[in-house]
Amino acid sequence: MLWIAPCLTDQPKKDMLSSLSKIYSHTHGIIVIFPILNRIQLLSHFLKYYSSLGADHFVCGLYGGKENDLYGEIVEMSDLYSLEVRAVTDSTITECNPEKETRGLNLIRQEFADRFDWCCVADLDEFYFFHGLNLPQAAAQVEQLQCEAAHGVFFDRVAVDGSFPEIGDSLDHTFPLACNLSKCIGACCDKIVLAKSHLKIGVGHHRTEGKIWMNAAEVHHFKWSRGVGRRLEDHFQAHQRRGYNWAKKEIPQALKLIRHGLNLRNPRLRVRSAIRLGV
């Protein structure tokens, strides 16, 4: 079933937001859980953005835990944010492993379920936009619709010239356009962006159980930066070793599309201006 939030303006919208805030006041907060393997370039942007949306607490699911070289840098961020670190895999896992990562993230979710009613699981390059709602208001809207989770769809953010620049101080400025790159390569573009903490999240955060509010959010995807080709090749080798058939099509297709930069005139990409997230 398709669930769509009411599109309201001016006073009706203010009344709706006030009502949602009252509903949310009866819950126990929202935790944001995110995995990290070996890159933290987007970490400060990520924490700042989700804090501005009303996240109550963060937990980093770190590959290898304290054995990961990035552990110290991540822990330093706890001086600025309510942040904890948990091992999402043991130290023997040194490349992306979706199944073990998912098991680790679900263990983290279970650990904190008594303290936080709502869970938001996102990769560092995924910034959820709830069409003007913050996280508490989005959670209240899910409840008002008698659902247990909310769904979002990818909006791939890219540079204005189709290149893959370094992550800058402003993501909005560096990646001002949105497109359908993930869809063009055949990747799954559905994400579970918010869910009751008792719900198990599937591999890649694409699926969950329970009743879902569909199309609740845009997933602004800041994957397409400097070095993305090399990262995709590394993932391709790792996924091939584990026999993932989907990777044999998706990743070569992505590498083909980005090899010489994106052709933004390609109608399949549906390039358009992206909303500014304030990051």
DSSP state of 14: H
Provide the pLDDT for residue 275.
Answer: 96
| Phi and psi angles of residue 234, each rounded to the nearest 5 degrees, phi first | -65, -45
DSSP state of 4: -
Task: Give 87's contacts (C-beta < 8 A, 6+ positions apart).
Answer: 61, 62, 63, 64, 65, 66, 104
- Nearest Cα neighbor of 50 from 119, 140, 149 is 119
Task: Write the Ramachandran bin of 166: left for phi over 0, alpha for psi from -120 to 50, otherwise beta.
Answer: beta
In order of 99, 193, 273, the CA distances from 122 in angstroms are 16, 7, 23
215: its two tokens: 């199309």
Using an 8 Å Cβ cutoff, are 118 and 196 in contact?
yes
Provide the pLDDT for residue 18.
Answer: 54
User: For the residues 115-138, what does the mean pLDDT come to?
Assistant: 96
Q: What is the pLDDT of residues 96-113, one digit of tens each?
A: 888 899 999 999 999 999
**What is the spatial distance between Cα 30 and Cα 113, in angstroms, rounded to a whole number?**
10
Rounded to 10 degrees, the C-alpha dihedral 89/118/50/278 comes to: 140
Q: What is the pLDDT of residues 9-53, one digit of tens each?
A: 554 555 555 555 554 444 569 999 999 999 999 999 999 999 999
| Phi and psi angles of residue 129, each rounded to the nearest 5 degrees, phi first | -120, 115
Q: Is 2 a residue whose pLDDT tops 80?
A: no
Q: What is the pLDDT of residues 67-80, one digit of tens each?
A: 999 999 999 999 99
pTM of whole model > 0.85?
yes
Beta bridge partners of 204: none
| Phi and psi angles of residue 170, each rounded to the nearest 5 degrees, phi first | -120, 115
Q: Is 177 a residue whose pLDDT tops 70?
A: yes
Q: Is 144 a residue whose pLDDT tops 80?
A: yes
Domain 26-273 has CATH 3.90.550: yes
Q: What is the pLDDT of residues 226-242, one digit of tens each?
A: 988 888 887 777 767 76
Provide the pLDDT for residue 216.
Answer: 97
- Nearest Cα neighbor of 238 from 156, 154, 230, 39 is 230
- Nearest Cα neighbor of 276 from 52, 10, 18, 44 is 52
